Structure 1
């Protein structure tokens, strides 16, 4: 389950980058807002999937309250899910092979 969560976190992080580094600059600097709605919706769905995956994938996996908070806060900041990946990988390693 933690590998599934890592995949969802990667998708959430990539959609954030696509929104901030492609769609929004194209809108504000290029005058072409065509990518903002689809990329924004993809990012919104990925964010909801990330939070839902927290509720499904993380219980019983040895996360402390502060690690839960860190994992949630990671989804609120650009690059946060990438920075939090080390924690998820350590938890996976501590649990051994799936």
Structure 2
């Protein structure tokens, strides 16, 4: 289950960055392309975000995280590059 969480953490981080790229770069270049990509990118990111949060709850006890560590893992999903940090610091031995 930890390997799945590690994969989802990386995928969620990438989807977050792709969503930002679409919002900040593609929107300025081609509005039609932006509109066409917004739903699939947003849906993928939303599913990965929910999966990240749910899997963090599931593996919380098996990883022996303290409450503070668990909150850090959850809050990292709101920050760009946050899930990459979590993957390196808390999931390095998965």
For the superposition of Structure 1 and Structure 2, which TM-score range results when normalised by the shorter chain? Answer: 0.7 to 0.9
Say whether 1:51 aligns with 2:53.
yes
The aligned residue for residue 63 of structure 2 is 61
Q: SS at 2:80's partner residue?
A: coil
Structure 1 residues not aligned, in runs of 5+: 94-98
State the distance in 2 between where 1:69 and 1:57 align.
Answer: 13
Query: Normalising to structure 2: TM-score of the pair?
Result: 0.85
Give the equivalent residue in structure 2 for 1:15.
Answer: 15
| 1:88 and 2:90 correspond | yes
> In 2, are the aligned partners of 1:8 and 1:50 still within 8 Å (CA)?
yes
What is the aligned length?
Answer: 91
Considering Cα pairs closer than 8 Å and 6+ residues apart, tell me whether 1 or 2 has the greater RCO: 2
Q: TM-score, normalised by structure 1?
A: 0.82
Q: Which runs of 4+ in 1 moved over 4 A?
A: none
Unaligned runs of 5+ in 2: none
Task: Provide, for residues 32-87 of structure 1, a one-character-per-residue CA deviation record: whole Å limited to 9, x for no partner.
Answer: 22101110111001000001111112223210111101100100111110112222
